[in-house]
Every structure is written in C-alpha cells, then in structure tokens.
Amino acid sequence: MAKLHFSLVAPERELFAGEVDSVDAPGAEGDFGVMAGHEPFMTTLRAGVVTVKSGSSVTVYEIQGGFADVTQTSFTLLAEHAKAATV
Amino acid sequence: MASLKEMRNRIGSVKSTQKITKALQMVAAAKLRRAQEAAQAARPYADRMASVIANLAASVSGPGAPVLLAGTGRDHKHLITVAVGDSGLAGAINSSVVRAARDRAQELIAQGKEVRFICVGKKSFAPFRRLFGDKVIATFDLSKSKVLTLDTAEPIATRILEAFAAGEADVVTLFYSKFKNVVSQVPTAKQLIPAIVSDAAGAAVTPDLKGGVYSYEPDEAAILETLLPRNLRVQILSALLENKAGFYASQMSAMDNATRNAGDLILALTKQYNRSRQAQITKELIEIISGAEAL
C-alpha cells in the first residue's frame, strides 16, 4: 500500500515527520481520515486528537486547533499546540 | 604617579571585572546554543505557514481579499513594533535595532505620516519614550518569560490587531535583529501588515500548487481569516527567537572582547606596578648607600 508522508509541526518544533499508512484528524467541519492518494484539500482544525497509524503501531497526539494541508502524497499538519498523548 | 597601594587596588578591581565578564561570556555561550536550537526548531512551522498562505493568497486576491493580507489601501498611519533584548552588556545589538527603527520613524514623520510604536524588550522603552513620548502605545517586558512560545507572542499580536482594527495603523512593521550567524546579526525590518509572505531566509515565497486543485473546508476566505492572525503570531515568535539567539551571540562576543581587554589592561598595569616598585626599591637603596657613605 502506498505510504503517506505526514508531518506534524508545532510552532516550537517538529513533532513528527515520516511515512505512515493513515492519519485521523479533527477538522473544523468534522473528523476526517487521510490515506495516500487523498484528494488535495485544506482545512482548519479544532482541538482534538490526531491518530497516526503506521503498520501495527499507533501514535496519538493532542492538538489545540491548527491547520491541515493535504495533497495526494503528503499531509502537513500545523498545530497551535501539540503534544504526544498516551493511549 | 599613583601610589603602589592604589595601583594594587586598581589591578585587583580590573581582575574582578574580568572574572565577571568571563562568567557572563560562558553563560551567554551556553544560552546561545539553546536559543539557536529553539530558533531552528521553529523554522519549519514558519516556512510551512508561509507557503500555505502564499498558496491561499494566490487564489484569494482582488477586492475580496482580507485586509490583513491586502492592507487598508492607505499608508498614512504606521505602527512600528521594535523588538530588542531585555538586558544590556551585549554590544551594539539592541542599539542598532533601536537606531534602525528610529531612523525609519523619523523618515516617515518627515514625510508627514503618523507613526506609533509598540516596544518589546526593556531596552527599547527608554529611547522611544524619550523621543516619541505618548506615541508609544504599548510596551512588553519579556524578561520574565524564559522560554519563548506562541503564548509569548500572543499578547503582542493581539495588541497589533487591536490597533489595526481601531484604525490606528495602516502599515505594521516589525524591527528586530536577524540572526545570520554567531558573529553577525542584522537589524531587519519585516512588514507584518499588509502581509508580505516570505520564508525564514527572507526570500519571497512563490505559490506552489503542484498542479493540484485544492478543495477547501470551510472556503478559502474563511481559512485565510483564521490563518492570518495566526501567521502574525508566528512571525512575531520567529522574530523574537531570532532576536534572542542574536542577543546571546552578541553578548558572547562583547564579553569575550571585554575579557580580552581586561587581560591587556591587567598586563599593562602589572608592568607599570612592577616598574614603580623597582624604582622605589632602587631609590631607597641609593638613599641608604649615600647615607652610609656620608658617615
């Protein structure tokens, strides 16, 4: 399966950058999931949980508002505040 | 000629000054590394933000564009935000930014424009209050905030947006010192409103749509509306981070110079002290010998 390049960037630092299978994020108009080959779109985000799935590993981040930029091969998430959350 | 005791005291005092400058230099060097890392870590965000906004700006131009992006169409009222350090003993870094901002302000005033100021960092309060008095509409003291985050930049951005919304400003410019490398910090003016989108290196970002047609949720204008104030905060934060790194770099080299100068001074004083001590001993010997011969 094609991989998606996901990067999670907070103002202070880059929290995550790498190839993943899918990402779930809380969009302003509803949660959405992104996999490789997604239609390009941009949206603002509300506070919530970002779930990053890669193979069998799942990483979860808490974000407080932000912005998502999705292209066919990559997903850039600019978060206001972000931190790794425990599942 | 100073007495020997006076000279000893003088040497002692220069020595303790040297200890202080040496300590300051080492502290600055340690802090510089951290500040530099912070400045670098913040760059990806600012760059991505800039490219996203450039993308959006390309699709939302014309009369409907938000005022933060397009400006008010006038340039009569200028708001100058000056960001410097909160303490001194750091060479010319603070004063060169202050001077750059002051020159720009006087130029604008000479053109008949209205200029107001927001001062960030203690070292800018006094010069601007003295020169421009009540034109300083806000001051921010950052000496309490050890770590610079988006929350540090927030009140500054809010104040700027307030002033903009109240019609007190048509053009907002931020003066800070750009951290080029450890030995060179450049006083820089960055225009915040109307937004000129540029990446960390200062080059204008050209829209890169990668041929894809984006869909927007909500629409472009709404996204831009929330993104632009956020971008303002990010721009301010990145300027503050650069400032901080530059400040420590400048302090480090200033203190290194001071330590070296103190060393030179100690050498010169010690030489002078030894000479006069020897001269005094010789003089006393001659007195004793001539006294003995006279008997």
Per-residue tokens: A23: 């990402």
* Chain B residues in contact with chain A using a Cβ-Cβ cutoff of 8 Å: 38, 41-42, 44-45, 48-49, 52, 55-56, 149-150, 210, 212-218, 222-223, 226-227, 230, 233-234, 237
Closest CA to B101 of B66, B70, B135: B135
Whether the per-residue pLDDT at B11 is higher than 90: the answer is: yes
- Model ipTM value: 0.77
* From A30-34, B82-86, B142-146, B249-253, the region with the lowest mean pLDDT: B142-146
Per-residue tokens: B49: 């933000």
pLDDT the model gives residue B62: 58
Would B194 be classed as within a structural domain? yes
pLDDT the model gives residue B102: 92
Which pLDDT tens digit goes with each residue over B93-141? 899 999 999 999 999 999 988 889 999 988 889 889 888 888 888 888 8
Residue of A nearest to B215 (CA): A41
Would B79 be classed as within a structural domain? yes
Contact B223 A39 (CB under 8 A): no
Closest by Cβ to A43, choosing from B213, B217, B237: B217
Distance in Å, alpha carbon of A87 to nearest chain B alpha carbon: 26
Percentage of chain B surpassing pLDDT 90? 34
Domain boundaries, given as residue ranges, for chain A:
4-84
Question: What CATH code is carried by the domain that includes residue B50?
Answer: 3.40.1380.10
Whether the per-residue pLDDT at B241 is higher than 70: the answer is: yes
Fold of the CATH domain A4-84: ATP Synthase; domain 1 (2.60.15)
Would B228 be classed as within a structural domain? yes
Per-residue tokens: B27: 């502290």
Per-residue tokens: B62: 């014309």
Structural domain harbouring B226: 43-251
Please tell me the total count of domains within chain B: 1
Which pLDDT tens digit goes with each residue over B182-222? 888 889 888 888 776 555 445 555 555 554 567 777 777 77
Would B189 be classed as within a structural domain? yes
Q: Which residue in the block uniquely carries the two structure tokens 């790794």?
A: A84
